[in-house]
Amino acid sequence: MNFKVTGKSAAYACIVLASGAFLASTDVQAQVLAMATQTSAASIGREVTFGNGGAPQALDEAAAVPARLHRQIVEYSTSEAPGTIIVDTPNTYLYFVLGGGKAIRYGIGVGRDGFTWSGTKTIERKSEWPDWIPPADMLQRQPYLPRFMAGGPGNPLGARAMYLSGTVFRIHGTNKPSSIGTHVSSGCIRMLNADVTDLYERARIGTKVVVLPMTHQRLAQERLVQERVVQERAVQVARTPVIREEIFAPSLR
């Protein structure tokens, strides 16, 4: 499913959210799972050359990021419907929900400190090799940036962009694969060009995007700390010697 949009991009702060409940039936779930089998270990590692003058190949991109950030099918429990996109901001993962307790997981780059956000949006429009027009507030912070950059391999938005409703944020590619797995953007969600192209083909206009807050990580860490404290206390109790109190009956006279 290809949706080509010729409209120009309007801002440079992008993000990821989760895709909607448009895939509900068992038949559709089966179709999504079948579609996902294309994301096998073999397909993940294959060479991919993009149009419009070419772009970094998948193998070159994959070499720039740790193995944990490579595209792969994983176990993922969620109440969200198949087809939903979930952005795990603190852990720099994006999940495309397949149903049946599984999802495709992609490594992403997210907003730096002070530029993260959370919420539920939808994909409003899609564009291949989008142009980049930095917004005014970004130009104030970084006046050296160009006022306009045509789409192409050198463009920071990369090979594809999916625009999130009611925001200036996008899920988009990158011309810097090494930034995947980091917190460096102004709010946008970055993906490897091969990965954003894969997601672009799966996600539809109207897809639900759920962006989790940074507190998601803090709460998880707090739970781990609490569990560790409980475990340590249990170990201490097990190791504490039992002091037996001897009770002597009074002697009879």
Catalytic residues: 172, 188
Residue 132, φ and ψ in degrees, nearest 5: -120, 125
Q: Are the CB atoms for 129 and 93 separated by under 8 Å?
A: no
Which residue from 96, 76, 77 is spatially nearest to 86, judged by alpha carbons? 96
**Tokens found for residue 138:** 């970004």
Distance between CA atoms of 53 and 8, rounded to whole angstroms?
19
**Which amino acid, 79?**
S
- Count of CB atoms situated within 10 Å of the CB of 62: 22
What percentage of the chain's residues is helix, strand, coil (to nearest 5)?
A: 25, 20, 50
